[in-house]
Amino acid sequence: GAVVSQHPSRVICKSGTSVKIECRSLDFQATTMFWYRQFPKQSLMLMATSNEGSKATYEQGVEKDKFLINHASLTLSTLTVTSAHPEDSSFYICSAGTSSSYNSPLHFGNGTRLTVT
Amino acid sequence: AQKITQTQPGMFVQEKEAVTLDCTYDTSDPSYGLFWYKQPSSGEMIFLIYQGSYDQQNATEGRYSLNFQKARKSANLVISASQLGDSAMYFCAFLSGGYQKVTFGTGTKLQVIP
């Protein structure tokens, strides 16, 4: 089956620093990847849609300059949390689909737990 | 805009019993897909089962089955013969045929009791 790898699984950083999270589709090409944020005991909130070779599409209320997304190839998308603050601490998870069809399930990475001190 | 609702924040089930997790949705799109994901405490999202809006039969995957009632706009997940390892959060998700965005429900926390 389709495998999505996300790295790192956990990261602790100091306030003011930047953190990069990688999302890779290992055995398929993904023209589109999605980045979600999940607060404790809550559902997944879509942050942005990452499109290969073009700018990401951000959801309303998500700061583009804080959450930088780069989709440099068909198998790699990165999310950079810039100038991180404690309120950015959360669980971030990426997903990718093997096609754009509505009958194609999204496959998820294992997520990254970010803690900003 | 699509809306997806899970009305059960938490459920308990006895080991080896069956349990139904509810999911309703609201859309005017004729083409859509419904998915169920399992999220253990470790955080990963595990795809369980899929139902397409044009599928005539209810989807089944091992111990998982989807009770799809299109007229009622419901897509309930049925887990048969519950196991302790089934304890997790379960999310219902909706994908419209015209978009790639997946909308998730608020989730149901299932706890299997020995």
Cβ-Cβ contacts under 8 Å, A42 against chain B: 106-107
Question: Of the segments A38-47, A91-100, B2-11, B60-69, which one has the largest average pLDDT value?
Answer: B60-69
Whether residue B1 is predicted with pLDDT greater than 80 in this model: the reply is no
The arithmetic mean of pLDDT across residues A39-50, rounded, is 91
Residues B74-88 have pLDDT tens digits of 999 999 999 999 999
Measure A104 CA to nearest chain B CA, in Å.
8
- Strands, E assignment, chain B: 3-5, 10-14, 19-21, 24-26, 32-39, 46-52, 60-61, 64-69, 74-79, 88-96, 102-104, 108-113
Q: Which residue has the higher pLDDT, B22 or A104?
A: B22
| Number of residues that this document lists for chain A | 117
Measure B98 CA to nearest chain A CA, in Å.
8
Residues A77-116 have pLDDT tens digits of 999 999 999 999 999 999 987 665 666 777 899 999 999 9
Q: Name the residue facing B50 among A32, A100, A103 (closest C-beta).
A: A103
pLDDT of residue A96: 86
Q: Which residue has the higher pLDDT, A117 or A31?
A: A117
Share above pLDDT 70 across residues of chain B, in percent, rounded to a whole number: 95
**For A72-78, which contacts have Cβ atoms below 8 Å and span 24 or more sequence positions?**
A74/A25, A74/A29, A74/A30, A74/A31, A75/A24, A75/A25, A75/A26, A75/A29, A75/A30, A76/A22, A76/A23, A76/A24, A76/A25, A77/A22, A77/A23, A77/A30, A77/A33, A77/A35, A77/A50, A77/A52, A78/A20, A78/A21, A78/A22, A78/A23
Measure B114 CA to nearest chain A CA, in Å.
24
Whether residue A26 is predicted with pLDDT greater than 70 in this model: the reply is yes
Share above pLDDT 90 across residues of chain A, in percent, rounded to a whole number: 69
**Residue B96 and residue A108: Cβ atoms within 8 Å?**
no
pLDDT of residue B34: 93
A5 → chain B, closest CA residue: B44
pLDDT of residue A98: 65
pLDDT of residue A31: 79
pLDDT of residue A106: 79
